[in-house]
């Protein structure tokens, strides 16, 4: 009876393995389907299987599973020339090379491409990372962007309102550096905020997005025939870039709480939805009616019946 009262709710095996710091959740799923995980002596290969780490004996590759790691949250200033993966098959430097000795196996939250610098989050909190990178997340991310050539006001308004991005065909790389087929199709970007911060022949803009599509800013400007020369992410939700390139710091408890609150914030409603509702609510004939209901054009009232008899 006491054991049942103390028993914690069962959790998915891949979540338990990821929390122990052995692998990412995706890699943990591969370990399960590959027959490398056992619970109470029984091999488990079905994704979605649950266990209680406090009472069940879980082994990965024959070794007992340790308890969950201490959660770590890092803010890194990623320099150009580093890839946002755990391993790179081309043996380029990765962002994990910049965070040695943190005492936990951390993973990057989202991506900054090879030539982009700026604020990058790393953590071993799989739940938070999943919420921040999910398609329904609308945590604002702000970038400083240098553009080759000066876009016209009409081109900037087009970008602000959203543009269609063509499908991508280049294979997608996982955080472990493996390539997988990209499921890509033409998409329309959400509205963005664009403010001029330095006017010149090749101006700088401050751009804030509420989504995180692959190479989104570069692909957006390609649609108005402008090349992006430099990108630097300076804000991520409540966090602001405040360390030098190549350096990192731990988030404070208050920053972690603010970041979790931002990840839980409800999805904003599109203005276009409001417009549609308003247009359907106001029917034109309600405004143009000039005679009382039930009155015919000749001024008479009542139901007019049409006779089928011949004269």
Residues with a known catalytic role: 113
Q: Is 107 helix (H, G, I), strand (E, B) or coil?
A: strand
Give me Rg for the CA atoms of the chain: 28
- Tokens 């700088």: give the residue: 204
Q: Is 30 helix (H, G, I), strand (E, B) or coil?
A: helix
* DSSP line for 211-271: S--TTHHHHHHHTTT-EEEEEEEEEETTEE--S-TT-EEEPPHHHHHHHHHHHHSPPPPPH
Burial tier of 9 (Cβ tally within 10 Å: 0-12, 13-18, 19+)? exposed
Structure-block tokens of residue 274 = 């409001």
Contact 118, 90 (CB under 8 A): no
Q: Is 129 helix (H, G, I), strand (E, B) or coil?
A: helix
Q: Residue 3 half-sphere exposure, CB side, CA atoms within 13 Å?
A: 4
């Amino acid at each position: 009876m006491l054991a049942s009262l103390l028993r914690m709710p069962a959790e998915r095996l891949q979540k338990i393995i990821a929390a122990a710091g052995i692998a990412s959740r995706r890699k943990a799923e591969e370990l399960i389907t590959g027959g490398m995980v056992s619970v109470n002596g029984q091999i488990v290969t079905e994704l979605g299987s649950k266990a209680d780490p406090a009472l069940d004996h879980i082994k990965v590759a024959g070794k007992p599973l340790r308890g969950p790691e201490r959660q770590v949250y890092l803010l890194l200033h990623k320099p150009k020339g580093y890839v946002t993966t755990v391993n790179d098959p081309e043996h380029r430097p990765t962002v994990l090379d910049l965070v040695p000795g943190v005492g936990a196996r951390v993973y990057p939250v989202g991506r900054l491409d090879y030539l982009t610098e700026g604020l990058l989050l790393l953590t071993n909190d799989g739940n938070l990372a999943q919420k921040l990178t999910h398609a329904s997340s609308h945590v604002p991310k702000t970038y400083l962007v240098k553009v080759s050539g000066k876009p016209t006001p009409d081109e900037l308004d087009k970008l602000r309102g959203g543009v269609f991005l063509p499908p991508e065909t280049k294979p997608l790389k996982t955080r472990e550096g493996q390539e997988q087929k990209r499921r890509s199709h033409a998409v329309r970007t959400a509205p963005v905020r664009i403010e001029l911060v330095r006017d010149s022949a090749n101006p700088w803009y401050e751009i804030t997005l509420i989504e995180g599509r692959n190479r989104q800013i570069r692909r957006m400007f390609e649609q108005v025939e402008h090349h992006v020369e430099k990108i630097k992410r300076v804000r991520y939700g409540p966090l602001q870039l405040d360390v030098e390139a190549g350096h990192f710091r731990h988030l404070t408890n208050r920053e972690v709480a603010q970041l979790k609150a931002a990840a839980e914030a409800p999805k904003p409603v599109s203005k276009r939805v409001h417009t549609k509702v308003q247009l359907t609510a106001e029917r034109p004939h309600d405004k143009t009616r000039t005679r009382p209901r039930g009155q015919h054009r000749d001024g008479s009232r009542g139901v007019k019946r049409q006779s089928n008899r011949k004269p």
